[in-house]
Each structure stands twice: as structure tokens, then as C-alpha cells.
Amino acid sequence: MSILASDARVIDGTYFDGRSARGVAARLVACANGRCDLQMDDQQRCIDMASVKVSARIAHIPRRIDFSGGGHFETLDNDGIDALQIQHAQHPGLVQWFERQWKVALSSLLSVVLVAVLFFTFGIPWLSQRVAQVLPVSADAHLGKGVLEILDGRLLKPSTLSAERQYQLQQRFDEVIRNQRGAGNWQFELRDAPIVGANAFALPGGTVVMTDQLVALAQHDEELMTVLAHEVGHVRRRHGLRQLLQGLGVSAMAMAVFGDVTSLSTLTGVAPALLQAGYSRDMEREADTYSRAWMQQQGIAQRRFDDLMCRLAASHGSQSDSKYNYFASHPAISERARCTQ
């Protein structure tokens, strides 16, 4: 072997002519002037290395050299091909160098984790907000359309409050939205909800629903107004649309990371659910902030919101109020309101 100088390296492999599946044992010998000799049993071909296509190196898998006239040479001698490429001033790709270094792999891992954390905490909420700004306000209304009809058939019944009381509450709602300019079609709905209990919610586009049970729980109309302001905050900040957009972002990321382990598609659904709950809690905080700023502006005491929240928590029982409930859609009550008891 010592007769062969380093610039005349021999690469053993197989030649296929591309017309039949029959391979021929072959060897590639580098020679001068950017040419190689392809030697087979009974023949020898002179190959111009500038005219061939060398496949990129990936781990241990066989390398192939495709010849311009058809046919290819296949070999497991990856190092030999690399040496040949360097000799002919062709550079092996950067990616294949990355993949061979454990150091690179581990730093990639750290970077991916870092980027993912940053992206999920800041990137997705920011992006959804930007996209929501671009979309017309009518998109919100379309999202909310039909939702109330569906709920009416199942969870909600017509309000049992007197017409006079309903009128009073409508006045309160009008007071809350009085200074809300240009944001959708405001609509106030009262419903009896024996299953849902004391609650209020906003549909994208501007429909705010309040249950009789919540009205009964309140000891002062200003308390109800703080909750209405909270719901108006959801609408104004376009939380419905943003939630939809964030959901899309999260599932796209989950697909990118785990997409090739198809049997786990159900399992990877858990992570998006966790993240969505996290975003939902952030939105509740945003709506709370909105409501508290509104109270400040209107000269309504902050304790009105606290009082109703605490009574609400007590009426719902405290089993769901855990600081460590990562699937919860709302933040813990101890974070949202100051309770006296």
C-alpha cells in the first residue's frame, strides 16, 4: 500500500449503470488534473470530477457519485470521498460537519430549548397580536357568530329576572361601554344558567353575557360593572381572535418538532393544551388590568372587584384554586383579588 501516494487514494465500491439492478465491483482512483479513474473488471473510465454530482455526507450512509451520462458509483468509504472532494477543491457541506460534532449537537439542543422558551413566552403572543391588528374587526364578529345560539340550546336559558331589573342592568352595561369608541357591535345578554352558575363571558365581536346567578351573587351594581369592564377588556384586546391565532402557532411548532414521530400525535396534544392554558391566564390578567384601570378612571373603588371575585371563588368552592394548576384557564384567585376572610 505504501506505493500509493496520498494523492492516489483508492475508493472501493459498486458501479451501477442505471439500466439494470446488477452492480459491478468498481474502484475509484484519483489522478491528476481534476480527473479520476473508474476501474471495473474489464474496463476503465476517465471521469472529470467537475462533471459529477457527489451526494452530501449524512452519518454512515453510502455516498453516491452520479455521472453525467447516467450510472452511479456507490461506496461506504465516506472518508475517502471527503478526501477526494478536498483534493478537487470541493468543500463538504457545513451541515454534515455540524452533524458529526457532539459539541454542536448539544449546543444546538440548548439553543433550541432557549429559542422555544422565548418563542412561546414572547414570540407567539406578540405575533398573534400583530396578526390580529392586521385582520379587520369584522373577523372577530364572525368568530363569535352563532356561539350564543349554540349555548342557548344547551347550557343557557332565558333570564328569569324582572323586565325592570334587566333594563337597569342594560343601563349599567351602557355606562361601561359609553367611552368605548369604534370597537364592534356591543350587545348585552342576560341568561339563566343553572349548570354554569355565577359567571360572565364575552364573545369576540362585542356580545357580553352575564348569568342571573352572578347578578344574584352581587351585593352592589358597581361590582357587576367591574366584571362587565373585565369582559369588555377581553373584547377590546381581541382575545378570541388572538387565542385562535396562538393555537395555530403552537400546533405548527409542535408539528415541526415531533412531526416525524407520527404515533405520538395524540401525546403531543398535551403540550399545546398546557401552553394555551398559559396564554389564557395571561389574557385574564390583561382583562383584569383593563377593568381595574377603568375603575380608577370612573372613581369606582377597587374593592368592588375584589369583593365579587372572592364571593365567586367561595361559591364555586376552592378545589380549583391551586397555584400549581397549569391546565387552569384562569389565574388563582389569590393572585386576582385581595380577599378579606
Partner 1 sequence: MSIDNTDSVFDAPAPVTAPRALPFEFRGSGSEYFRIWIVNLLLTIVTVGIYSAWAKVRRLRYFHGSTSLEGHAFDYHAEPVAILIGRLITVGGYALFLLAGQINPLLNLIVVPLLLVGLPWVILRSRRFHLRMTSWRGLRFGFHGDYKGAFKAYILWWLAATFTAGILFPVFLQRRLTYLLGNSAYGSQRAGYDVAIKQFYAFYGWFILKALGVLILAAVVCGALVATTGSGAMGSAPVSGTLAAVFFVAGLLVAGIYQAGQLNLAFGNLTIGPHRIESTLSGPGLAALLLTNALLIVITLGLYSPWAKVRLIRYQLAHLHVIATGDLGDFTASATADDSKALGDEISDFFDVDFGI
Q: Which of 225, 219, 303 is nearest to 210 (CA)?
A: 225
Residue 183 three-state SS: coil
Shortest Cβ 146–partner 1 spacing (Å): 9
22 part of the interface to partner 1, by CB under 8 A: yes
* Cβ-based nearer residue to partner 1, 4 or 115: 115
Smallest distance from the beta carbon of 10 to partner 1, in angstroms?
20
Position 216 contacts partner 1 (CB under 8 A): no
139 binds partner 1 per the rule CB under 8 A? yes
- Tell me, residue by residue from 93 to 112, as one string, x for binding to partner 1 by CB under 8 A and - for no binding: --x--xxxxx-xx--xx-xx
31, 155, 261, 274: which one binds partner 1 (CB under 8 A) = 261
Reference 26, options 9, 7, 45, 8; nearest CA is 45
In the complex, the smallest distance separating the C-beta of residue 53 from partner 1, rounded to whole angstroms, is 10
CA distance 324 to 337: 17
Under rule CB under 8 A, residue 263 binds partner 1: yes
Q: Which residues pair with 10 in a beta bridge?
A: 29
Closer CB to partner 1, residue 155 or residue 264?
264
Our finding on whether 41 is near partner 1 (CB under 8 A) is: no
Q: Where are the alpha helices (DSSP H) in 69-136?
A: 78-87, 94-100, 102-118, 124-134
Q: Are 334 and 323 in contact (CB under 8 A)?
A: yes
User: Count residues contacting partner 1 (CB under 8 A)?
Assistant: 52
Q: Does 325 bind partner 1 (CB under 8 A)?
A: no
CB-facing half-sphere around the CA of 266: CA atoms within 13 A: 1
Q: Could you tell me if 185 and 206 are in contact, meaning their C-beta atoms sit under 8 angstroms apart?
A: yes
Query: Measured from the CB of residue 85, what is the shortest distance to partner 1 in angstroms?
Result: 17
Instruction: Give the Cβ contact number of residue 271 at 10 Å.
Output: 16
Distance CA(306)–CA(183), nearest Å, equals: 27
Q: Give the shortest CB-234-to-partner 1 separation in angstroms.
A: 18
Judged by the rule CB under 8 A, the positions of this chain that interact with partner 1 are: 14, 16-23, 55-56, 58-62, 64, 71-72, 74, 95, 98-102, 104-105, 108-109, 111-112, 115-116, 119, 135-136, 138-139, 142-143, 145, 248, 256-261, 263-264, 267
